[in-house]
Amino acid sequence: MAFGNIPTVLTAEEIINKAFKGSSKITINDREHFYWVRNTAMARVQAVSQTIDAVLLKYVSAFPSFDNLHPFYYELAELLIGVNPIKKSLGGLDWCRKQVAAIASKHLSQMRKTRNEDTIERLRESAYGRIASVVKQLAPDLEFLNKVRNEIKKIPTVDTVAPTIVVAGFPNVGKSSLVKLISSATPEIAPYPFTTKGIHVGYFEHKWVRYQVIDTPGILDRPLEKMNEVERQAVMALKNLANLIIFIIDPTGHCGYTLEDQERLLETVKGLFQVPLIVVENKMDLSKTDSDRPKISTASGAGVDAIVKEALAILHKNMPKMEAIREGF
Protein backbone atom coordinates (compact mmCIF):
# COMPACT_ATOMS: atom_id res chain seq x y z
CA MET A 1 0.00 0.00 0.00
CA ALA A 2 1.53 3.30 -1.11
CA PHE A 3 0.06 5.25 1.82
CA GLY A 4 -0.50 2.59 4.46
CA ASN A 5 2.34 3.36 6.86
CA ILE A 6 1.96 7.09 7.40
CA PRO A 7 1.71 7.74 11.16
CA THR A 8 -0.48 10.35 12.79
CA VAL A 9 1.24 13.72 12.38
CA LEU A 10 1.66 15.54 15.69
CA THR A 11 0.99 19.24 16.05
CA ALA A 12 3.87 21.68 16.50
CA GLU A 13 3.10 22.03 20.20
CA GLU A 14 3.01 18.26 20.65
CA ILE A 15 6.40 17.88 18.98
CA ILE A 16 7.93 20.64 21.13
CA ASN A 17 6.50 19.16 24.32
CA LYS A 18 7.70 15.71 23.37
CA ALA A 19 11.24 16.96 22.75
CA PHE A 20 11.48 19.14 25.86
CA LYS A 21 9.91 16.56 28.17
CA GLY A 22 12.32 13.88 27.03
CA SER A 23 15.36 16.10 27.37
CA SER A 24 14.43 17.20 30.90
CA LYS A 25 15.12 13.69 32.16
CA ILE A 26 18.74 13.76 31.01
CA THR A 27 21.48 14.27 33.60
CA ILE A 28 25.20 13.84 32.96
CA ASN A 29 26.91 13.21 36.30
CA ASP A 30 30.42 14.51 36.96
CA ARG A 31 32.48 15.10 40.06
CA GLU A 32 33.07 18.69 39.08
CA HIS A 33 29.90 20.76 39.33
CA PHE A 34 30.75 22.91 36.32
CA TYR A 35 31.12 19.93 34.00
CA TRP A 36 27.95 18.42 35.45
CA VAL A 37 26.04 21.61 34.54
CA ARG A 38 27.64 22.12 31.14
CA ASN A 39 27.48 18.52 29.95
CA THR A 40 23.89 18.14 31.12
CA ALA A 41 22.82 21.35 29.35
CA MET A 42 24.61 20.32 26.16
CA ALA A 43 23.12 16.82 26.27
CA ARG A 44 19.62 18.26 26.68
CA VAL A 45 20.00 20.64 23.73
CA GLN A 46 21.37 17.78 21.66
CA ALA A 47 18.46 15.53 22.69
CA VAL A 48 15.88 18.19 21.77
CA SER A 49 17.45 18.54 18.34
CA GLN A 50 17.66 14.79 17.77
CA THR A 51 14.08 14.16 18.90
CA ILE A 52 12.66 16.80 16.57
CA ASP A 53 14.84 15.55 13.73
CA ALA A 54 13.70 11.95 14.28
CA VAL A 55 9.99 12.90 14.43
CA LEU A 56 10.09 15.05 11.30
CA LEU A 57 12.24 12.57 9.40
CA LYS A 58 9.75 9.83 10.24
CA TYR A 59 7.00 11.85 8.57
CA VAL A 60 9.09 12.71 5.51
CA SER A 61 10.13 9.08 5.09
CA ALA A 62 6.60 7.72 5.60
CA PHE A 63 5.14 9.69 2.72
CA PRO A 64 5.90 8.05 -0.61
CA SER A 65 8.11 9.52 -3.30
CA PHE A 66 5.39 10.93 -5.51
CA ASP A 67 7.68 11.07 -8.53
CA ASN A 68 8.08 7.29 -8.31
CA LEU A 69 4.45 6.44 -7.57
CA HIS A 70 2.43 4.27 -9.87
CA PRO A 71 0.22 6.56 -12.01
CA PHE A 72 -2.92 5.22 -10.32
CA TYR A 73 -1.77 6.39 -6.90
CA TYR A 74 -0.24 9.62 -8.20
CA GLU A 75 -3.37 10.74 -10.01
CA LEU A 76 -5.62 9.88 -7.08
CA ALA A 77 -3.38 11.87 -4.74
CA GLU A 78 -3.43 14.74 -7.23
CA LEU A 79 -7.20 14.57 -7.49
CA LEU A 80 -7.98 14.25 -3.79
CA ILE A 81 -5.43 16.73 -2.39
CA GLY A 82 -2.89 17.99 -4.90
CA VAL A 83 0.65 16.66 -5.09
CA ASN A 84 2.48 20.00 -5.12
CA PRO A 85 1.03 21.23 -1.80
CA ILE A 86 2.05 17.92 -0.21
CA LYS A 87 5.58 18.23 -1.58
CA LYS A 88 5.78 21.83 -0.35
CA SER A 89 4.77 20.88 3.20
CA LEU A 90 7.18 17.94 3.25
CA GLY A 91 9.86 20.36 2.11
CA GLY A 92 8.94 22.55 5.06
CA LEU A 93 9.63 19.63 7.40
CA ASP A 94 13.07 19.14 5.87
CA TRP A 95 13.76 22.88 6.21
CA CYS A 96 12.79 22.76 9.87
CA ARG A 97 15.05 19.78 10.54
CA LYS A 98 18.02 21.64 9.09
CA GLN A 99 17.23 24.82 10.99
CA VAL A 100 16.89 23.01 14.30
CA ALA A 101 20.18 21.17 13.73
CA ALA A 102 21.94 24.45 12.88
CA ILE A 103 20.57 26.20 15.99
CA ALA A 104 21.63 23.32 18.21
CA SER A 105 25.09 23.14 16.63
CA LYS A 106 25.69 26.88 17.09
CA HIS A 107 24.63 26.89 20.74
CA LEU A 108 26.55 23.72 21.55
CA SER A 109 29.70 25.28 20.09
CA GLN A 110 29.24 28.35 22.28
CA MET A 111 28.62 26.18 25.35
CA ARG A 112 31.90 24.36 24.85
CA LYS A 113 33.81 27.64 24.84
CA THR A 114 32.43 29.17 28.04
CA ARG A 115 33.35 28.52 31.68
CA ASN A 116 30.40 30.43 33.10
CA GLU A 117 27.44 28.42 34.39
CA ASP A 118 24.99 31.30 34.00
CA THR A 119 26.06 31.73 30.38
CA ILE A 120 25.54 28.03 29.77
CA GLU A 121 22.00 28.24 31.16
CA ARG A 122 21.22 31.30 29.03
CA LEU A 123 22.53 29.49 25.94
CA ARG A 124 20.37 26.46 26.72
CA GLU A 125 17.28 28.63 27.13
CA SER A 126 18.15 30.51 23.95
CA ALA A 127 18.50 27.26 22.03
CA TYR A 128 15.16 26.02 23.34
CA GLY A 129 13.44 29.26 22.46
CA ARG A 130 14.79 29.47 18.93
CA ILE A 131 14.10 25.79 18.26
CA ALA A 132 10.52 26.13 19.52
CA SER A 133 10.04 29.22 17.35
CA VAL A 134 11.18 27.36 14.23
CA VAL A 135 8.95 24.34 14.94
CA LYS A 136 5.94 26.62 15.54
CA GLN A 137 6.42 28.04 12.03
CA LEU A 138 5.75 24.51 10.82
CA ALA A 139 2.30 24.34 12.46
CA PRO A 140 0.25 24.87 9.25
CA ASP A 141 2.30 22.27 7.38
CA LEU A 142 1.93 19.70 10.14
CA GLU A 143 -1.81 20.27 10.35
CA PHE A 144 -2.14 19.99 6.57
CA LEU A 145 -0.05 16.79 6.38
CA ASN A 146 -2.17 15.13 9.04
CA LYS A 147 -5.29 15.96 7.04
CA VAL A 148 -3.54 14.57 3.96
CA ARG A 149 -2.68 11.41 5.87
CA ASN A 150 -6.31 10.90 6.87
CA GLU A 151 -7.54 11.57 3.34
CA ILE A 152 -5.14 9.41 1.38
CA LYS A 153 -5.70 6.48 3.71
CA LYS A 154 -8.98 6.18 1.81
CA ILE A 155 -7.11 5.42 -1.40
CA PRO A 156 -7.51 1.71 -2.12
CA THR A 157 -4.76 -0.83 -2.02
CA VAL A 158 -4.33 -2.25 -5.49
CA ASP A 159 -1.84 -4.64 -7.00
CA THR A 160 -0.12 -2.58 -9.70
CA VAL A 161 1.61 -5.67 -11.12
CA ALA A 162 -1.15 -8.30 -11.26
CA PRO A 163 -3.09 -8.71 -14.53
CA THR A 164 -6.12 -6.53 -13.97
CA ILE A 165 -9.66 -6.78 -15.27
CA VAL A 166 -11.64 -3.58 -14.83
CA VAL A 167 -15.41 -3.84 -14.93
CA ALA A 168 -17.05 -0.72 -16.34
CA GLY A 169 -20.42 0.64 -17.37
CA PHE A 170 -23.24 2.80 -16.11
CA PRO A 171 -24.42 2.51 -12.50
CA ASN A 172 -26.75 -0.38 -11.65
CA VAL A 173 -25.90 -2.50 -14.68
CA GLY A 174 -24.48 -5.33 -12.53
CA LYS A 175 -20.80 -4.47 -12.19
CA SER A 176 -20.48 -5.24 -8.48
CA SER A 177 -22.41 -8.47 -8.87
CA LEU A 178 -20.07 -9.62 -11.63
CA VAL A 179 -16.99 -8.77 -9.57
CA LYS A 180 -18.33 -10.83 -6.67
CA LEU A 181 -19.04 -13.76 -8.96
CA ILE A 182 -15.63 -13.63 -10.63
CA SER A 183 -13.83 -13.22 -7.32
CA SER A 184 -15.87 -15.79 -5.41
CA ALA A 185 -12.84 -18.11 -5.10
CA THR A 186 -11.42 -15.79 -2.45
CA PRO A 187 -13.19 -13.50 0.03
CA GLU A 188 -10.79 -10.64 -0.63
CA ILE A 189 -13.37 -8.07 -1.66
CA ALA A 190 -13.44 -4.80 0.26
CA PRO A 191 -15.00 -1.36 -0.29
CA TYR A 192 -12.82 1.76 -0.30
CA PRO A 193 -14.86 4.93 0.14
CA PHE A 194 -14.00 8.03 -1.84
CA THR A 195 -16.89 10.44 -1.61
CA THR A 196 -20.36 8.94 -1.84
CA LYS A 197 -19.36 5.76 -3.62
CA GLY A 198 -16.41 3.42 -3.72
CA ILE A 199 -14.61 0.81 -5.72
CA HIS A 200 -14.32 -2.88 -4.96
CA VAL A 201 -11.12 -4.82 -5.49
CA GLY A 202 -11.36 -8.59 -5.78
CA TYR A 203 -8.89 -11.34 -6.66
CA PHE A 204 -8.98 -14.83 -8.07
CA GLU A 205 -6.31 -17.34 -9.05
CA HIS A 206 -6.04 -19.39 -12.22
CA LYS A 207 -3.14 -21.73 -12.91
CA TRP A 208 -0.98 -20.18 -10.19
CA VAL A 209 -1.52 -16.62 -11.41
CA ARG A 210 -3.34 -14.07 -9.27
CA TYR A 211 -5.74 -11.81 -11.18
CA GLN A 212 -7.17 -8.56 -9.91
CA VAL A 213 -10.74 -7.52 -10.65
CA ILE A 214 -11.84 -3.95 -10.05
CA ASP A 215 -15.38 -2.65 -9.93
CA THR A 216 -15.35 1.06 -10.75
CA PRO A 217 -17.97 3.58 -9.72
CA GLY A 218 -20.42 4.23 -12.53
CA ILE A 219 -18.94 6.57 -15.10
CA LEU A 220 -21.33 8.77 -16.98
CA ASP A 221 -21.51 9.63 -20.62
CA ARG A 222 -20.05 13.11 -20.59
CA PRO A 223 -16.67 14.80 -21.16
CA LEU A 224 -13.92 14.05 -18.66
CA GLU A 225 -13.69 17.67 -17.52
CA LYS A 226 -17.39 17.60 -16.56
CA MET A 227 -17.15 14.41 -14.52
CA ASN A 228 -17.33 14.54 -10.76
CA GLU A 229 -14.63 13.16 -8.49
CA VAL A 230 -16.01 9.63 -8.29
CA GLU A 231 -16.40 9.39 -12.05
CA ARG A 232 -12.87 10.65 -12.68
CA GLN A 233 -11.50 8.09 -10.24
CA ALA A 234 -13.22 5.40 -12.27
CA VAL A 235 -11.60 6.72 -15.42
CA MET A 236 -8.18 6.67 -13.76
CA ALA A 237 -8.68 3.09 -12.68
CA LEU A 238 -9.49 2.18 -16.25
CA LYS A 239 -6.59 4.17 -17.64
CA ASN A 240 -3.81 3.17 -15.25
CA LEU A 241 -4.69 -0.32 -14.13
CA ALA A 242 -6.67 -2.09 -16.81
CA ASN A 243 -5.16 -4.85 -18.90
CA LEU A 244 -8.67 -5.73 -19.99
CA ILE A 245 -12.05 -4.01 -19.68
CA ILE A 246 -15.33 -5.85 -19.30
CA PHE A 247 -18.02 -3.35 -20.26
CA ILE A 248 -21.50 -4.29 -19.06
CA ILE A 249 -24.65 -3.18 -20.82
CA ASP A 250 -28.13 -3.50 -19.33
CA PRO A 251 -30.45 -3.83 -22.34
CA THR A 252 -33.55 -3.81 -20.10
CA GLY A 253 -33.08 -0.18 -19.13
CA HIS A 254 -33.74 -1.08 -15.48
CA CYS A 255 -30.46 0.62 -14.59
CA GLY A 256 -32.09 3.96 -15.40
CA TYR A 257 -30.19 4.60 -18.65
CA THR A 258 -31.31 3.90 -22.17
CA LEU A 259 -29.52 1.47 -24.43
CA GLU A 260 -28.52 4.42 -26.63
CA ASP A 261 -26.92 6.17 -23.65
CA GLN A 262 -24.96 3.04 -22.83
CA GLU A 263 -23.82 2.61 -26.43
CA ARG A 264 -22.50 6.17 -26.44
CA LEU A 265 -20.58 5.55 -23.23
CA LEU A 266 -19.14 2.40 -24.76
CA GLU A 267 -17.82 4.39 -27.72
CA THR A 268 -16.30 6.92 -25.31
CA VAL A 269 -14.52 4.15 -23.41
CA LYS A 270 -13.23 2.65 -26.66
CA GLY A 271 -11.78 6.01 -27.63
CA LEU A 272 -10.17 6.69 -24.27
CA PHE A 273 -8.54 3.39 -23.41
CA GLN A 274 -6.27 1.36 -25.64
CA VAL A 275 -6.75 -2.04 -24.00
CA PRO A 276 -8.76 -5.12 -25.04
CA LEU A 277 -12.45 -4.82 -24.30
CA ILE A 278 -15.22 -7.38 -23.85
CA VAL A 279 -18.78 -6.07 -24.13
CA VAL A 280 -21.42 -8.19 -22.39
CA GLU A 281 -25.15 -7.78 -21.93
CA ASN A 282 -26.43 -8.50 -18.44
CA LYS A 283 -29.87 -9.54 -17.16
CA MET A 284 -30.38 -12.18 -19.85
CA ASP A 285 -32.96 -13.75 -17.54
CA LEU A 286 -35.11 -10.64 -17.98
CA SER A 287 -34.47 -9.67 -21.58
CA LYS A 288 -32.37 -10.71 -24.56
CA THR A 289 -31.44 -8.71 -27.62
CA ASP A 290 -30.55 -9.96 -31.09
CA SER A 291 -26.97 -8.69 -30.80
CA ASP A 292 -23.98 -11.00 -31.11
CA ARG A 293 -22.65 -9.87 -27.75
CA PRO A 294 -22.21 -12.43 -24.98
CA LYS A 295 -25.20 -12.62 -22.66
CA ILE A 296 -24.92 -13.14 -18.91
CA SER A 297 -27.03 -13.04 -15.80
CA THR A 298 -25.27 -11.89 -12.67
CA ALA A 299 -28.40 -12.93 -10.76
CA SER A 300 -28.09 -16.62 -11.71
CA GLY A 301 -24.46 -16.74 -12.83
CA ALA A 302 -25.41 -17.90 -16.32
CA GLY A 303 -22.75 -17.12 -18.92
CA VAL A 304 -20.23 -15.80 -16.41
CA ASP A 305 -17.80 -18.73 -16.71
CA ALA A 306 -17.60 -18.22 -20.47
CA ILE A 307 -16.76 -14.54 -19.97
CA VAL A 308 -13.98 -15.40 -17.51
CA LYS A 309 -12.57 -17.94 -19.96
CA GLU A 310 -12.60 -15.36 -22.75
CA ALA A 311 -10.98 -12.77 -20.51
CA LEU A 312 -8.16 -15.14 -19.54
CA ALA A 313 -7.56 -16.06 -23.15
CA ILE A 314 -7.27 -12.39 -24.13
CA LEU A 315 -4.92 -11.64 -21.24
CA HIS A 316 -2.79 -14.65 -22.17
CA LYS A 317 -2.60 -13.55 -25.79
CA ASN A 318 -1.66 -9.97 -24.93
CA MET A 319 0.74 -10.78 -22.09
CA PRO A 320 2.83 -13.66 -23.50
CA LYS A 321 5.73 -13.08 -21.09
CA MET A 322 3.70 -14.08 -18.04
CA GLU A 323 5.44 -17.39 -17.49
CA ALA A 324 2.94 -18.75 -15.00
CA ILE A 325 0.01 -18.61 -17.42
CA ARG A 326 -0.53 -21.93 -19.19
CA GLU A 327 -2.08 -22.59 -22.56
CA GLY A 328 -5.30 -24.46 -23.16
CA PHE A 329 -8.09 -22.13 -22.13
In a domain, 326, yes or no: no
| Number of residues assigned to the chain | 329
In a domain, 5, yes or no: no
**pLDDT of the residue at 49:** 97
Q: What whole-number distance in Å separates Cα of residue 293 and Cα of residue 287?
A: 13
Based on the fold, state whether residues 207 and 295 are members of the same structural domain: yes
**pLDDT of the residue at 196:** 37
Based on the fold, state whether residues 200 and 289 are members of the same structural domain: yes
In a domain, 114, yes or no: yes
Q: What whole-number distance in Å separates Cα of residue 101 and Cα of residue 52?
A: 9
Among residues 152, 176, 207, the one where a domain terminates is: 152
Based on the fold, state whether residues 169 and 295 are members of the same structural domain: yes
Based on the fold, state whether residues 133 and 173 are members of the same structural domain: no
**DSSP assigned state of 134:** H
In a domain, 95, yes or no: yes
**pLDDT of the residue at 107:** 97
Q: Give me the number of domains the chain comprises.
A: 2
**Residuewise pLDDT in 10s, the chain (329 residues):** 567 688 999 999 999 999 999 999 999 999 899 999 999 999 999 999 999 999 999 999 999 888 888 888 888 788 778 899 999 999 999 999 999 999 999 999 999 999 999 999 999 999 999 999 999 999 999 999 999 998 877 777 788 889 999 888 888 888 888 888 888 544 343 443 333 355 678 888 888 888 999 887 666 556 667 777 767 777 777 788 889 999 999 998 888 888 888 998 898 888 888 899 999 999 888 877 778 899 999 889 899 999 999 999 999 887 654 434 334 43
DSSP string, 87-131: HHHHHHHHHHHHHHHHHHHHHHHHHHH---HHHHHHHHHHHHHHH
Among residues 101, 131, 152, the one where a domain terminates is: 152
CATH number at 250 reads 3.40.50.300
Q: Domain range for residue 231?
A: 164-318
Based on the fold, state whether residues 146 and 170 are members of the same structural domain: no
Based on the fold, state whether residues 116 and 244 are members of the same structural domain: no
Based on the fold, state whether residues 54 and 79 are members of the same structural domain: yes
Based on the fold, state whether residues 118 and 170 are members of the same structural domain: no
Based on the fold, state whether residues 83 and 129 are members of the same structural domain: yes
**pLDDT of the residue at 200:** 75
Based on the fold, state whether residues 141 and 176 are members of the same structural domain: no
Based on the fold, state whether residues 148 and 170 are members of the same structural domain: no
Q: What whole-number distance in Å separates Cα of residue 36 and Cα of residue 50?
A: 21
